Structures are given as structure tokens and as C-alpha cells.
Amino acid sequence: MFDLERWQEIFETLSKNKLRTFLTGLSVASGIFILVILLGFSKGIENGVKSQFEQDATNEISVRTSRTTKSYKGLNPGRYVQLTNESYDAVERKFDPYLEYRSKTFMVWGGTVSYGNESGNYRISGVLPDNQFIENADIGTGRFVNHSDVVESRKIAVIGNKMKQDLFKDESPIDKNISVYGVNFKVVGVFFDPGGEREESQLYIPITTAQRVFNAGQDIRNMSFTMKMEDNFDKAVKKSEAISQGIESQLKEIHIVAPDDVSAVRVNNTLEEAQKIYSLVATIQAVFWFVGIGTIIAGVVGVGNIMLIIVKERTKEIGIRKALGAMPMSIVGMILQEAVFVTMFSGLFGLVFGLGLLELVGPQIENDFIKYPQVDFNIALTTVFLLVLAGAIAGFIPAYRAAKIKPIVALRDE
Amino acid sequence: MISIKDLHKSYHMGKNSVHVLKGINFDVKEGEMVSIMGSSGSGKSTLLNILGMLDEADEGSYTLDNVPIKNLNEKIAAKYRNEFLGFIFQSFNLINYKSALDNVALPLYYKGMNRKERTERSMHYLEKVGLAQWSHHLPSELSGGQKQRVAIARALVSDPKVLLADEPTGALDTQTSYEVMELIQGINDAGKTILVVTHEHDIAQMTKRIVNLKDGVIIDDSVVEQVRASAHV
């Protein structure tokens, strides 16, 4: 293997048969290249999806209600299920040890908000302080709704960055009064939301204030919680699923809804959603691997095939070499070493080329679902060595055949 | 140098079996130059292949330079070929992507000689066949006669005991044939034992002894007056 003379012989053979060497190398290099690109993009998709889920706390459970579809205990279908402070308190009390952040919301989808001469239509949400963490809202200036705001039903508002730009331009909004349905609210903070402009064109006020201003009494629109995180993802999914179900059946009992009425009380569990998406991503990755491995197998079979043709083409040469005293093992060694050298060299070339392309093009990709496509270098290197091994195996059959060539047959004049 | 006793060889092709050599007895002394003649199918090529250890006899004994040649596996055959024999073929059998020099050096590579020594020695033999200035040309850039000269240099380079030539002039015109034969005669004059398989009488007359083969047996074995090829050139 480290015989210098042998290497000289091989380099000479390869350099004098450039087209053949090039074609053999090309099939391997493109195989590795495609694998690297596929792996890179599957990583990119994984990164993209992960960052999508980072926008909201991924372990969120939210409850929404609508009209009943089934008659139950003498009540007619079509009745609106109205969540109240009371039902929220019941849920919170029952599941308290499992919950991290909790919030109930009363919202108005479009309310006119004005400041000076500027005005616009914005979503108005009455919330609890924890909502900041559930929605992943970042406070830019000022503060979020706090506990005493809620207790004292203060007329304060936290506005989104988009709203601030619309209404205040370059002015600082803090401690300014805005008018919501003709009621003055003092702005105490500005928030940013990773969800973008849509999430930032709304304002938060204390829920107690909202209920009072919009004459809602004890009604709330929805409630949302986050779960305390578990180390194990599957365990976390199971737990949040169990709790979602617990909340659902509790609320159905309180509001007298048939247990099998699926649309009246809906409990969404983002972790479950996340798991679905992750398993989709895993499937995509598996498919990519499958395609990549398939490509490599095709490349290796190609190498084996080309080596077979080479042996066929070189039958006479091998016969001559044997007549001049070449040992069978030296013929096997020659063919094998050539195969391994070509696969390794072109494999590394394809790897570097693929990695380079990912490095170059990766950061340019602006797509919500593909982010930073990259390849674990160790995995890539492992595939190259696997490829070399496969190349050796692919080269062995032709090499063995070459060793079996009888000089007398090879040298026979046609 | 060469001693063959009661040599038999059959080829099997499917159900048919052809008895090619039917008891050959034959001795060659050191320094002899023998031609083996016969029409096609007489078994002359088979005999040469057995002598060249490219093929094995079914029966009989073969001794080369007091070494019994039998039960050869591929490894030993390769070693003996490299040590004892030099081959010259009708179609030259040069490796087409190697220069004349590298072709000549190939047996030395399989001997395990280092590159420098190989090159020196190969150059020496290329000079001997008068092709020193063609050493870096590929076979495709050489004429038929030149190719055969390269092949002769290659056969000689490892200083073998015996030179085996299978129709060495078969692919050459008459003039070139005589030139090549002149070279081979010169090698024989220097003491090398040479066997030439041919079906051309004028070529056979240029050796010192003619063995006539017909249907697998020797029908005639006689010493002849050697015609010097130089007389024709």
C-alpha cells in the first residue's frame, strides 16, 4: 500500500488514461456531492422548522370554544359555550402543579385606536401578565401588564411596535394617552414579537379593564397555559396530551357539553403539533438519506462497472504483465488500489465542493422553512470512508477477475 | 538447458477433446538457436506455451536449467517466467500507454528493482537494439520493426536463460524481418539460448537447428547450416 514504486505505477496509469479516470471519478464525486447537498438541506429544513416553533413557547396549551353541535342533558345544540373567570379559575386550581405560565384573554378583533390625528384599527387583547411569556413578546421600551394593573383594573396599554410606528412615528409613546373606543389609556410599554408585523399590530391591556370597558362581565374569550418543560421530549408530549384532555373534559363538565362534542370546546396543544411537524421533518430526512445512499450505491456500482470494463479493456495488458512476471496479488493490488484511490480522491473532491456550495449559498437562502443548511463534517467524512470501503468492495470483483486472467488467453492473437 | 520427455497435452472443448501434443521428446543445449516449424494445428504454439510456462502439460517432464517445472501455481510460474524466460510475440504485445523505455523496464519492476537502476539498465538494452533516441516514444509512434526491437529489448532486460520467440517476424515485411533476425542472431552469438516458432522457411534457415512438428509429434529434427541474415540486409 505504501510502496512508492506501486504509486508511481498507478499515477502513470491514471494520468495516461485521463478520460477513464475522469469518468470514474465523476460518478463518485457527484454521488457524494448530491448526498452532501441533500443532508445540508435536510438540516436546513430542521433548523427552519425549529425556528418557526421558537416564535411561540412550544409547550403551549390553549382553549377556544364555539357553539355546541350535540344536544346533551336536555340542552339544545347550537348553544355558545362562554368561558368565564370561574371556569378559568377551576382549571387553574386543578392543574396548578403542572402549569408554568397562565393567562386568560378577552379580545376585540378590531377596535379603533387613536392618538392625536393618527388612528387605526387594531386588535385589543385583555390579558394577564404571564401572556408576555406565552406569546414570546419582547418588551422594547417600558414594561408589560403587571399584577397590580390587573387587580386595580388600570387603564394602561402595551402596544406593538407596528402600532407605535403607525401612531407615534418618531415620538416616544411612553406615558402618552391613546384613545380606545373613546376611553383614554396610558401607554406603558412597546413590545416586539418574533411573529412579525401582524402580531405587532395589537395592544395588550389588563383583562379586568377589558372586561369592564367592553361590558363583558365575567366572560373571557380563551385561556392559554404553558407546561413546565420535561427533559424528555416524548414524555413531555404525553404529559401535555394528558393535561389537554383533562382540561377539555373538566370544561365540558362545567359548561354541560357532550363529551363527544369535538367542536364546542377545543384544546390545542402546540407540543403535539410540534411533534407532528418534527416527525414530518424526520420523515423528510429519512427520505433524503435514502435518496443519498441510493445515489452513492449507484456511484459505487458505477465504479465497479467501470472497473470491470477497465479490466476487460486491459485484459491484454494484464496478460502481458503476467507473462513478464507479475504475481496475481500484484495485479489485484494494482486494480484495487486504483479503485480506492480514484473513489477516495473524487469522493473528497465532491465533499469539499458540496460543503463549499452549502457554505456559499446557505446564508443567501431566505425561506421560512429552510435556514442555515449545513452538514456535520464528521458525518460527511464517514460517508466518504464508507464510500472508499464500498469502492474497494466494488473494485474487488473486477480485480479478482483480473487476477484470474490467463496470460495465454490474453495474449492469443485475434 | 531445456529437457522435455514424453510430453502430452490435450485440450477439452465441451465434449470434444483434441490431443495436441502426442509424446514430445526434445533437448536444447545452452547457446543453441532452434526453430520449431510446422503448419497451423501442428502443436508448435502449444509446445511454446508449455515451454513458456503459460500452459501446463498433462503428462511428461520438463526441466529448465536443471529446475523441474511441475505443479506450478500462478505465483511460482510468474516468478520462473520473470527469472528464466524472455518472450517475443508476433504482435509485439507492448503496453500502448507506456513509453518504449517503460515497456522495457516492466520485467525489472516485477523483479523489484528500484527505478533508477531500472532506467539505466533499460536504456542500455534499448541502445543495444539501436533505439536509444526513441526511448520516450509511445509504441504507436514506432514502426513495426521498431516495436519488435523494443519487445526484444524487454525480453533481454532481465537477462533470462532462454528467449522464446513466437513468430517474431509474422507481422513484419521481409526486409524488416531480416533486420530483426539479424538482431536475434547477434543475441544468440553472444551466447543466449533461443527458441523460435515460425512457419517461414527462410526464417527457420537462419537458426542453427530446425525441429519439424506435424500432428503433435516431431517428424524431423536436424542441424542446419545457418544463413546469416546480414547477407540479406
Q: Which residues contact A129 (CB under 8 A, 6 or more apart)?
A: A103, A144, A145, A146, A147, A149, A150
pLDDT of residue A2: 54
Which residues from A are below 8 Å from B95, CB to CB?
317, 320-321
ipTM of the complex: 0.89
- Alpha-carbon distance B202 to nearest alpha carbon in chain A (angstroms): 23
Q: Is the pLDDT of residue A61 over 80?
A: yes
**Mind spelling out the 3-state secondary structure of B13-70?**
ECCEEEEEEEEEEEEECCCCEEEEECCCCCCHHHHHHHHCCCCCCCEEEEEECCEECC
Which residues from A are below 8 Å from B78, CB to CB?
322, 325-328
Under an 8 A CB cutoff, do B54 and A407 touch? Answer: yes
- Alpha-carbon distance A345 to nearest alpha carbon in chain B (angstroms): 23
pTM of the complete model: 0.65
The rounded distance, in Å, linking the Cα atoms of A37 and A247 is: 45
The rounded distance, in Å, linking the Cα atoms of B95 and B105 is: 11
Average pLDDT estimate for A358-365: 80
The rounded distance, in Å, linking the Cα atoms of A410 and A399 is: 15
Q: Is the pLDDT of residue A57 over 90?
A: no
Q: Is the pLDDT of residue A16 over 50?
A: yes
Query: In chain B, which residues touch A (CB < 8 A)?
Result: 49, 52, 54-55, 74-75, 78-79, 81-83, 87, 89-91, 93-95, 97-98, 102, 106-107, 109-111, 114-115, 154, 158
Q: Where are the domains of chain B?
A: 2-231
Query: In chain A, which residues touch B (CB < 8 A)?
Result: 5, 8-9, 12-13, 16-17, 316-317, 319-330, 406-408, 411, 413
Q: Is the pLDDT of residue A1 over 50?
A: no
Who has greater pLDDT, A396 or B105?
B105
> In whole numbers, what is the pLDDT of chain A averaged over residues?
84
pLDDT of residue A329: 87
pLDDT of residue A186: 93
DSSP SS3 for A54: coil
pLDDT of residue A344: 85
Long-range contacts of A249-256 (CB under 8 A, 24+ apart): A250/A90, A250/A91, A250/A94, A251/A63, A251/A65, A251/A83, A251/A87, A251/A91, A254/A86, A254/A87, A254/A90, A255/A65, A255/A81, A255/A82, A255/A83, A255/A87, A256/A72, A256/A73, A256/A75
Q: Is the pLDDT of residue A205 over 90?
A: yes
Determine what percent of chain A is predicted with pLDDT higher than 70. Answer: 94
Which residues from B are below 8 Å from A323, CB to CB?
52, 54, 81, 87, 93
- Alpha-carbon distance A9 to nearest alpha carbon in chain B (angstroms): 9
pLDDT of residue A157: 93
Q: Is the pLDDT of residue A294 over 50?
A: yes
pLDDT tens string A17-41: 788 788 878 888 888 888 888 888 8
Q: Which residues contact A176 (CB under 8 A, 6 or more apart)?
A: A115, A168, A186, A187
Digitized pLDDT (tens) for each residue of chain B, 233 residues in all:
899 999 999 988 888 888 889 999 989 999 999 999 988 888 888 898 899 888 888 889 999 988 898 888 888 888 999 999 999 998 899 988 889 999 999 999 888 888 899 999 999 999 999 999 999 999 999 999 999 999 999 999 999 999 999 989 988 999 999 999 999 999 999 999 999 999 889 999 999 999 999 988 999 999 999 889 888 76
Nearest CA in chain A to B54: A408
pLDDT tens string A377-387: 777 777 777 77
pLDDT of residue B212: 93
Cell of B66: 536443471
Q: Is the pLDDT of residue A230 over 70?
A: no
pLDDT of residue B171: 86
pLDDT of residue B184: 92
- Strand-strand pairing, A183-192 and A99-115: unpaired
Which residues from A are below 8 Å from B102, CB to CB?
12
pLDDT of residue A347: 85
Q: How far is residue A400 from each of residues A14, A229, A331, B41, measured CA to CA in Å?
A: 20, 59, 9, 33
One-letter amino acid of B112: G
In this complex, how many residue pairs, one in chain A and one in chain B, have their CB atoms less than 8 Å apart? 67
Which residues from B are below 8 Å from A322, CB to CB?
78, 81
Domain B2-231 has CATH 3.40.50.300: yes
Of the candidates B95, B97, B102, which has its C-beta nearest A320's C-beta?
Answer: B95
Of the candidates B91, B110, B114, which has its C-beta nearest A324's C-beta?
Answer: B110
